[in-house]
Amino acid sequence: MSLSEEQLRQYREDGVVVAEGLLTDDDLTPIIAELSAWIDARARELHAAGKLTDLCEGESFERRMACLFAQTKEIATGLDIMLMRGPASFAFLHNAHLLDAVERLVGPEITCSPIQHIRAKPPAALTGEGNGAYNVPWHQDAGVTWEEADSSNIVTCWLPLVDATVENGCMEVIPGVWKDGYREHHADSGTTIRPDLMPERTPVAVPVNKGGVIFMHRYTPHRSTPNYSENVRWSLDLRYQPTGEPTGRPFHPAFAVRSRQDPMSVLTDHTEWCRLWEEALVSAKGVQAHRVK
């Protein structure tokens, strides 16, 4: 399954489109298993250190993290793709179902941007509604790259590992205004569009089921909303672009994930990917990643 002509039209018009059912359980199960194993190991480490008392072993994937987070926020330390560097995460960055859709938007020579994240949004009852670390304010994804990437065709792929609903904090977007280009951002509980430059349009909530993917233009304003459920809302935030265009993060490793012209250029070595990230995280320490201070 890829994007239909109607979905392509909607993306070009609105700067955002939802593709439900793009991914299968077989696509997502390995990365969920990898995350579950990481959480279990982290919980046991914190338990041994006396920082939590209940391992919450009988809980579901989305519930266990919430139970652990309620005992210690340290459970989330190190929880991101470039820090964990798991083989299932690396493999998923090459997922054929996802790349078939991406190819319709950026062409057949595809690079994976180094801007990639695992999002584990805890219940608002544990973090507070206004916590910018978990409720990301209004922004364009271009706002978290250097200016060098303003002309790069970077597509954001936001995909939930559990159903993302209005209750548990799905995204809100402002469709159509991407055509007006970049809006100046500033730092205010996160990188956010200046209030006087916010579009005067009504935001739209974008719930999406597990297996669905939201594709967004780099200039589409969006934010995340509070999680009013009792579980963690899990999602992946990935970006892809045509090979050869600036990523806006030249100090972090990008790599080819699909190439019709030069298949040998595709990085398939997990060990090499880990090495690239290990070196970059050291050499780029202190570099300002966002264009605003």
- The mean per-residue pLDDT over the stretch 111-118 comes to 97
Does 171 have pLDDT greater than 90?
yes
Report yes or no on 30 lying in a domain: no
pLDDT of 116 reads 96
CA distance 140 to 220: 6
pLDDT of 101 reads 98
Report yes or no on 122 lying in a domain: yes
* 3-state secondary structure at position 121: strand
Whole-number Cα distances in Å, 250 to 72, 114, 149, 279, 290: 35, 9, 10, 13, 12
Tally of domains in the chain? 1
Question: What single-letter amino acid sits at 153?
Answer: N
pLDDT of 196 reads 95
Work out the percent of the chain whose per-residue pLDDT is above 90: 92
pLDDT of 161 reads 98
pLDDT of 188 reads 84
pLDDT of 292 reads 85
- The mean per-residue pLDDT over the stretch 57-69 comes to 97
Does 68 have pLDDT greater than 70?
yes
> What CATH number did the domain enclosing 220 receive?
2.60.120.620
State which residues form the domain around 129.
6-24+79-283
Q: What is the pTM of this model?
A: 0.96
Report yes or no on 195 lying in a domain: yes
How much is the mean pLDDT over the chain? 96
Report yes or no on 127 lying in a domain: yes
Does 132 have pLDDT greater than 70?
no
Residue whose C-alpha is closest to residue 240's, from 223, 224, 221, 259: 259
Report yes or no on 50 lying in a domain: no
Report yes or no on 292 lying in a domain: no
- The mean per-residue pLDDT over the stretch 168-189 comes to 94
pLDDT of 75 reads 97
- The mean per-residue pLDDT over the stretch 115-132 comes to 87
pLDDT of 130 reads 66
Report yes or no on 250 lying in a domain: yes
Q: Where are the beta strands (DSSP E) in the chain?
A: 16-19, 110-112, 117-121, 155-160, 171-173, 185-187, 191-193, 204-206, 213-217, 222-224, 233-242, 255-258
Report yes or no on 54 lying in a domain: no
Does 131 have pLDDT greater than 80?
no
Question: What single-letter amino acid sits at 207?
Answer: P
pLDDT of 133 reads 67
